[in-house]
Amino acid sequence: MSVYTPVSEVELTGWLRNYSVGRLTACEPIKAGIENTNYFITTTQGRYVLTLFERLPADELPFYLHLMAHLARHGIPCPAPIADLSDQYLGSLKGKPAALVTRLPGRSLEQPGAQHCEELGALLGRMHLAGRSYSAYLENPRGPKWWRFAAREVMGFLEKPHQALLESELAYQGEHRFPDLPRGPVHADLFRDNALWEDSRISGVVDFYFAGVDCLLYDIAVCANDWCLKSNHGVEPGRMQALLAAYHSVRPVTALEREAWPVMLRAAALRFWLSRLYDFHLPRPGMLVHAHDPEHFRHVLESRIAAPVPWMA
C-alpha cells in the first residue's frame, strides 16, 4: 500500500472544511502507485480523490492541476481539481502539498484489443488538440536531462552488457533529437492502468503527475509500447494500426513524425527502463510497494532496436 503520510478521519474532516464538498462519509487508502499518498474520499456531495504529493516539487504542481482543469473544461474525461474556498486548487495537509480532484467511474483493462486501442488513439488526439490552448510550460520532467541523471545513478548496478546498452542508447538518442516535431502538453504515462473504461468507452484518464511539454509523438509512443505489446515484447500490428489510424484521424501526423516514429518508440522504452531501474535500485525511504521489474522495458528497448517499427497508419 502506498500511504507514506497517514491521515485520520478527524484530520481529514477538519481539512475538508476548506472546501464546499459536503460532509465526509468514507475514506479509503488507494493501494497503488509509488509517487504519492492517495485516498478515495466520499462525502455527502460526491466522490473524490485526495492526493498528498510526497516528492514532486511544489512549483511544478500548478502545471499538473491547471492542465487537468483545462482538459476537463474541454471535454476530456480527466479528473477535475476542486478549488477550495480561497479558489485555490493546491492546499496543504499534514505538512504536504495536497489536492482534491473528482473521482471518475470505470475500471482499467488488462488485455486491450484493437477496438480499445482505436478508442485510445482518438482520445489521445483530442487531448493533444485541447492542450494546444494551454499556455503554462513545464519541460517533461522525465525527459533527456533526467535520463542522463538517472543513468549516472544506476550505472553501477548494471552488468557490463546492460551498461553498454544504456550508454549506446543514450548516445543514439542524443544524435536523434527532433526540435521541429509538433510539441505540447503530454500525459507521458498513459499506460493501461491510467485509463478507466465503461461500456467500451474511456471514462477517465488519470495520473497526470508525469505530464510536461514534449513531442506529441512521444506520448503516442509511450502508449504504443504498453497497449500494443506482444508477449515477446514486439508489437501487435492490428492494435498498433488501430491506435495510430485513430489518432491520425483526429490530429494528422506530419511526414517528419512518421520518420521519427521508430526513434521515439526507443526513447519511450529507454525512459521507462531508466525509471524502473532507478526505483528498483534506489527505492525511496518508506516505499511500501514493489517496484516494477526493470527488465521488462529493457527487453522492449532491445526489441525496438532489433526490429524498428514503422508508422502503420
Residues 84-139 have pLDDT tens digits of 999 999 999 999 999 999 999 999 999 999 999 999 999 999 999 999 999 999 99
CA 117 – CA 221 distance, rounded (Å): 13
pTM of this structure: 0.95
pLDDT at 260: 98
pLDDT at 48: 98
pLDDT at 287: 53
Residues 185-242 have pLDDT tens digits of 999 999 999 999 999 999 999 999 999 999 999 999 999 999 999 999 999 999 999 9
pLDDT exceeds cutoff 80 at 265: yes
SS3 call for 265: helix
- Structural domains of the chain sorted by starting position, each given as residue range(s) with its CATH number in brackets: 9-102 (3.30.200.20), 114-306 (3.90.1200.10)
> Does residue 283 or residue 77 have the better pLDDT?
77
CB 103 within 8 A of CB 47: yes
Average pLDDT in the 238-256 region? 98
CA 107 – CA 30 distance, rounded (Å): 14
Confidence of residue 1 (pLDDT cuts 50, 70, 90): very low
pLDDT exceeds cutoff 60 at 289: no
> Exposed, middle or buried by CB within 10 Å (0-12, 13-18, 19+), for 5?
middle
